[in-house]
Amino acid sequence: MADRMDELLTHLPAEPCPDDLVGRIQSRLAATRRRARWMEQGRMWSLAGAAALGTWLLIPRLGILSTAVPGFSVSGVGSWLSWVLASPADAGGALLSQVLSWGSGLAECMQFGLVLALVLMAAPALYGAARMIASTSAREGVVG
Partner 1 sequence: MSAEQDGILIRQARSGNAAAFDQVVARHTPRLYQSIRRFASDRSEAEAIVQETWLRAWRALPRCDPDRPLLPWLAKIAMNVTRDLWRRRRPLDFADVGDEVEAQPAGEPGPEQALESSLTLERLARGVERLRPEYRAVIGLRYDGGLTYEEIAQALGVEVNTVRTHLHRAKMALRRWMEAEHGGSDG
Binding site for partner 1 (CB under 8 A): 1-2, 4-5, 8-18, 21-22, 24-26, 28-30, 32-33, 135, 138-139, 141-144
Instruction: Please tell me the distance from the alpha carbon of residue 122 to that of residue 58, in angstroms, as a whole number.
Output: 12
What are the residues whose beta carbons fall under 8 Å from the beta carbon of 55, sequence distance 6 or more? Answer: 117, 121
Instruction: Please tell me the distance from the alpha carbon of residue 106 to that of residue 70, in angstroms, as a whole number.
Output: 10
The smaller minimum CB distance to partner 1, of residues 2 and 89, is found at 2
To partner 1, the closest distance from the beta carbon of 102 in angstroms equals: 44
Say if residues 105 and 64 touch (Cβ distance below 8 Å).
no
The smaller minimum CB distance to partner 1, of residues 34 and 96, is found at 34
The smaller minimum CB distance to partner 1, of residues 12 and 107, is found at 12
